[in-house]
Amino acid sequence: MQPQGPAILLRIYTDEGKRNGNRPLYEAIVMKARELGLAGATVLRGPMGFGHSHAIHTAKIIDLSAKLPLVIEIVDAEDRVQALLAALGDMRDIGLVTTEKVQVVHYGGSDG
């Protein structure tokens, strides 16, 4: 990815209970992004949410089996994001997927 300039933000809305084969779906997506050489990926866990079914998912202590909402965010050049989307095509029940144009202001630093 270029240090600064136009890029694409990919957001995938899913939940922690979804799987792709024998691994969590979010993990499969992040590992595919890494395999394809994308700049990075972040998985954000939400304490509450609902989707197309309108079922509420929450982190209340009494609901230990909650399938909490997750958002996976990836920012990279448009061609790289499109390549990832093509590679994710065989993953079932992925959830809502959006893209938007963004402007990278700063990229870099130490993330270990």
Tell me which DSSP letter residue 30 carries.
Answer: H
pLDDT at 111 over 90: no
Burial category of 26 from C-beta neighbours within 10 Å (exposed 0-12, middle 13-18, buried 19 and up): buried
Predicted pLDDT at 1: 65
CATH of domain 5-104: 3.30.70.120
DSSP-assigned letters across all residues of 74-112? EEE-HHHHHHHHHHTTT-SS--EEEEEEEEE--------
Predicted pLDDT at 60: 66
pLDDT in tens, 33-50: 999 999 999 999 987 777
Q: Do the beta carbons of residue 91 and residue 24 sit within 8 Å?
A: no
Structural domain boundaries in the chain? 5-104
Q: What is the pTM of this model?
A: 0.84
Q: Which residues contact 90 (CB under 8 A, 6 or more apart)?
A: none
